Amino acid sequence: MFKNLYPDSLEVSGQYLRIILKEISELQLPFNPIVYAVWYEYVSGRNPALQKAIKAARKQKVLIDYQKILEWFGHHVSNRQLLVTEQQTRKAGSLLDGMTFHLIDAELRMGQQGEQLKAHNQLLSIASDEDDIKNISQDIVSETLRIIDGNTDLKNNVHNTINELDALKLELRNLREAAKTDMLTGLLNRRGFEDAIAGPMKDAQEETAPLTLIIADIDNFKRINDSYGHLTGDNVLKLISKLLQKHIKGKDLAGRFGGEEFIMVLPETKMDGGFVLAEQIRTSLEKMRWQSKSSGKDIGTITISMGVAQFIPGEDLDSLIVRADKAMYAAKNNGRNRTGTHNGKDVVLP
């Protein structure tokens, strides 16, 4: 899927690996996929804009922490998938242009060859000498063979172009999917979630089905990162993502909305059903005990605050998200580890 992004050989990528591990260690950054991706792009030199940003930060002695890495990743690395998509789209256009040229060229050549065959046929019809008939017949055979050869070349060119287009189409589809997925958790990212929710929102707006949205935010997540490290924080995000995926079903969607915030949409589900699901997730998480893999330290309990809102006819997605967000923040401001709901007018905390 990323062969156009990272075509390096085993030997070259191994050299990069040694440099990257040394520099990540010196900067005391977590050895996770996001940090590695940023530093791979930097060390390999294939991302000039990122190189410039990192060199400037080092020259100005800016603190290069995980937040800075996330900033660079979002701005310079994940967007490269879209760049490759655009490049592949242009390549597909060039292939189509080439095939069109071959077809037009073949049409012109076949027209000229057809005229020549017509002329030979006219000569043959008036020829009386045996040698003339033989020569004209040979010309007709030769011209016919050229037409056949030309058509074989055209067929091969078109066949090869179609194969290349099929390969491009598959790669573009994979790139589009990758661009919609959060690398760390495997959930939909914000762009992917907004694309996926378009259909359910349309159904809800046409009043053919209810729709409920849940916003979830990990309580005191900064404390986890500060106390146990970003690697532990990343593991928490991944495990909570799996918990969300375990509880949703059917047409339900889950995404990471940024940082430690998650979002779920439940098509064909009313507020009561959304509240029940949110409470199932919240209480399941509350019962878990957590331990840092790197240090073995007991982290204790990790909790999550939830906000639930059902779509109201006439509102747009932003408005629905704002209402669920208000419910979630009310839950946080009133003790955390709670689920709030927004009924369209007020937040309700059971």
Instruction: Identify the H or E element spanning 256.
Output: strand 253-258
Q: Sort strands 339-342 and 304-310 into parallel, antiparallel or unpaired.
A: parallel
Judge contact between 305 and 216, C-beta under 8 A: yes
The C-alpha angle with vertex 62 and arms to 58 and 63, in degrees rounded to 5, equals: 110
Torsion of CA 328, 228, 34, 23, to 10 degrees: 150
* Secondary structure of residue 110 in the 3-state scheme: helix
Asked if 204 and 266 touch (Cβ cutoff 8 Å), the reply is no
Enumerate the active-site residues.
Answer: 260
Element (H, E) at 291: strand 290-291
Backbone angles phi, psi at 266, to 5 degrees: -120, 90
Q: Are strands 339-342 and 347-348 parallel, antiparallel or unpaired?
A: antiparallel
* Residue 30 near residue 66, CB atoms below 8 Å: yes
